[in-house]
Amino acid sequence: MAKCFGVTAPDQAAASLVDRIMLRLGGAHIYVPRRTTRERLRTYGEIANRFNGSNLFELAREYGMTPRHLRRIIAAQKIRKISQG
């Protein structure tokens, strides 16, 4: 594919892609998620399943999230389970 744009080496392809993105979106704030939605939901379900009421800070360290964010995830997962039956 890189050859279609006149690029022969992988480093040049990456630089060319970055240049094109900068030209098109330069100055804009862009959010690039770390995970796909499916992966994120799987992780959230795993967190909710592992939460036992006293391991909030341990899970926060393990998953690299704040305790506050984990509380929101756990609450949302409870609501999700209730609504699914």
pLDDT attached to residue 7: 64
Count of C-beta atoms within a 10 Å radius of residue 74: 19
Residue-wise pLDDT for 53-66, tens only, equals 999 999 999 999 99
DSSP state of 66: -
Q: Identify how many contiguous H helices and E strands the chain contains and give both numbers.
A: 4, 0
Q: What is the pLDDT of residues 13-72, one digit of tens each?
A: 888 888 998 899 888 888 888 889 999 999 999 999 999 999 999 999 999 999 999 999
Could you tell me if 63 and 43 are in contact, meaning their C-beta atoms sit under 8 angstroms apart?
yes
